[in-house]
Amino acid sequence: MARTSLLPLTAACALACALAVPAAQAAVAGGTGPDFEGGFENIAYGLAGNVFQLTPRLFINGLGSPGGPASVTTLNSALDYAVSVAGAGSGLMTVDYRITNSSATDSFSQLRFMVFANPDGEQLNFLDRVTETWGAAVAGDPVRREVHAATADPFDNILGRFAVNANLTDAAPDAACLAPAGCDAVMGLQWNAPTLGPNESLLVRLALSDDGRSVSGRSLSFAGVGAAGTTLTVSGFSQVTAVPEPSTWAMALAGLAVVARLAGRRARRLPA
């Protein structure tokens, strides 16, 4: 009896198996946004995940109630607000929220920056099993978190409570969200800066990853129940840095101009 090579059959089986079992997407796509305040809608991740809403909120002592960062910073002409996105379409997308104090004399105190999100790893019942990495905080880590099952009550939810209290209620995720059956989870992460001095900038970098990466020691993860390969890890850090004054930039540019002129002279003197 003639022997038949198994290689074509094996290759065909491998191809069929590969087509039958989807691979992890490992791409967080930016969705719609950022809007004026730095919010997003419909950020895709994993195989079928979707962050329906991502909303930043800011409180600064002396500038009224918490609100959208752009709206709050417009209450004082010394403050500037900017948003930038990197890594959209990769396994780690970051959103940089930056608040800059351009005053040479004035300081601001008790800055609290919060990001709210409602990730859905599967799109039938919107159930996610939540896990967290929440050890002792190091510099820049989020200082508070909330994770609950979603509610339709506008006053009994994370955004509503932050608008009143200017703080998240720091606690472990709801027991239902930690259980294998999961919950329709919503979350908030908060970063604090005691002061923002003259010519200083506060950066809050939010990271969304569907391949398990985190940019801070504290993070929250949302695994779609029954949705293999669809887990979103949310992390982030903050830092306050000095912003060079205009005179410093002018001196630096003048120095570069001198160096460029000297380099040009030397090039002309070199023999051909």
Return the pLDDT at 151. 83
pLDDT at 31: 87
For 204, counting Cβ atoms within 10 Å of its Cβ (0-12 exposed, 13-18 middle, 19+ buried), the class is buried
Q: What is the mean pLDDT of each run of 10 residues along the chain (272 residues)?
A: 38 39 63 95 96 98 98 98 97 98 98 98 96 96 97 83 96 97 97 98 98 97 94 98 68 54 58 60
pLDDT at 266: 58
Q: How far apart are CA 160 and CA 127, in angstroms?
A: 22
C-alpha dihedral (165, 207, 89, 85), degrees to nearest 10: 70
Terminus-to-terminus CA distance in the chain, angstroms? 80
Across the strands, what pairs with 115?
A: 56, 189
Q: What is the pLDDT of residues 245-270, one digit of tens each?
A: 655 544 445 556 555 565 565 555 55
Beta strands 144-149 and 200-209 are unpaired
Task: Report residue 162 as tokens.
Answer: 């932050």
Closest-CA residue to 47 (of 21, 15, 24): 24
Q: What sign results for the dihedral spanned by CA atoms 170, 175, 179, 181?
A: negative
Among candidate residues 125, 111, 134, 22, the one with its CA nearest the CA of residue 60: 111
Exposed/middle/buried for residue 26 (C-beta within 10 Å: 0-12, 13-18, 19+)? middle
Q: Residue 152: what pLDDT?
A: 78
Whether a cis peptide bond, with omega within 30° of 0, leads into 34 is yes
